[in-house]
């Protein structure tokens, strides 16, 4: 999976609709302190489903919405889209979008269709990437990996190996199994009551 384009609108300092094409090869983002370089990486993690405002340097998720300046009013929403080259079976291009509105929370779309947050995280987990991918190295990340516990390191390796999506599916399957077992138990009770 390769990110080909990033579109932002109202996300942190990117108040105006902004589009960045990411060409093959090495891409560098340069600019003075505070110009928004880290905000770009955070936009990628956010659209991939990042659920922790703290890891996006905010107190709440709505802090990703442009908060306004002395000369510009705040925005009511933030939206980020990434265009992907999908490898593997599906192939082709795909666009993932996340939007947040004040007071209304986040909504996700894949190729224009409304989807759940879980669908987005599974899409990226299956491609061995995602909001917590070790490939997205934010400030302080190297130090935190060195200081991490063995269980946390294992999670990193599992994400890199593309198997974290399997854990999520296993949890789902186990929940469905438990619900089916409860239904069966209830059914046997009803049957024995009738006998
Ligand atoms: P450095 O080189 O110092 O690490 P940087 O280029 O990575 O800086 P960022 O940390 O990405 O810069 O951007 C910080 C800027 O984004 C600050 O000017 C901050 O005010 C602005 N910013 C962050 N969140 C918002 C928001 N919700 N609304 C408006 N501006 C925001």
What ipTM was assigned to the predicted interfaces of this complex?
0.94
Quote the percentage of the chain above a pLDDT of 70: 97
Strands (E), the chain: 2-9, 18-21, 77-85, 93-101, 105-110, 113-115
- The answer to whether 183 is annotated as binding is no
Question: What value does the mean pLDDT take over residues 184-189?
Answer: 94
- The answer to whether 38 is annotated as binding is yes
- Residues with Cβ within 8 Å of 168's Cβ and at least 6 positions away in sequence, in order, are 118, 121, 122, 125
Quote the percentage of the chain above a pLDDT of 90: 63
- The answer to whether 133 is annotated as binding is no
pLDDT value at 43 more than 80: yes
Let me know the angle formed at the C-alpha of 133 by 132 and 138, rounded to the nearest 5 degrees: 75
Q: Measured from the CB, is residue 46 less than 6 Å from ligand 1?
A: no
Q: Measured from the CB, is residue 36 less than 6 Å from ligand 1?
A: yes
- Name the token pair of 180: 């089916």
Query: Residue 74: which of 86, 65, 82 has the closest Cα?
Result: 65
Q: Measured from the CB, is residue 98 less than 6 Å from ligand 1?
A: no
The whole-number pLDDT of residue 164 equals 78
pLDDT value at 192 more than 70: yes
Lowest mean per-residue pLDDT among 15-19, 88-92, 94-98, 138-142: 88-92
Query: Average pLDDT, whole number, for the chain?
Result: 90
Q: Atom of ligand 1 at shortest distance to CA of 40?
A: 11
Confidence of residue 137 (pLDDT cuts 50, 70, 90): confident
pLDDT value at 154 more than 70: yes
* pTM over 0.90, yes/no: no
pLDDT value at 195 more than 70: yes
- Name the token pair of 55: 């890891």
3-class DSSP state for residue 72? coil
Distance 29 CA to ligand 1 centre (A): 14
């Amino acid at each position: 999976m390769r990110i080909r384009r990033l579109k932002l609108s109202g996300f942190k300092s990117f108040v105006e609709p902004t589009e960045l094409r990411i060409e093959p090869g090495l891409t560098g983002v340069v600019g003075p302190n505070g110009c928004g370089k880290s905000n770009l990486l955070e936009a990628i993690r956010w659209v991939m489903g990042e659920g922790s405002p703290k890891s996006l340097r905010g107190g709440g998720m709505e802090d990703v919405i442009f908060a306004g300046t002395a000369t510009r009013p705040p925005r009511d929403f933030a939206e980020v889209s990434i265009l992907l080259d999908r490898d593997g079976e599906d192939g082709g291009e795909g666009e993932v979008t996340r939007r947040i509105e004040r007071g209304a929370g986040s909504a996700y779309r894949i190729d224009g269709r409304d989807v759940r947050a879980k669908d987005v995280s599974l899409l990226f987990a299956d491609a061995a990437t995602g909001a917590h991918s070790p490939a997205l190295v934010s400030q302080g990340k190297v130090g935190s990996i060195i200081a991490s516990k063995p269980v946390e390191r294992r999670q990193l390796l599992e994400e890199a190996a593309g198997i974290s999506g399997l854990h999520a599916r296993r949890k789902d399957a186990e929940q469905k199994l438990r619900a089916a077992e409860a239904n069966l138990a209830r059914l046997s009770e009803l049957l024995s009551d009738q006998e």
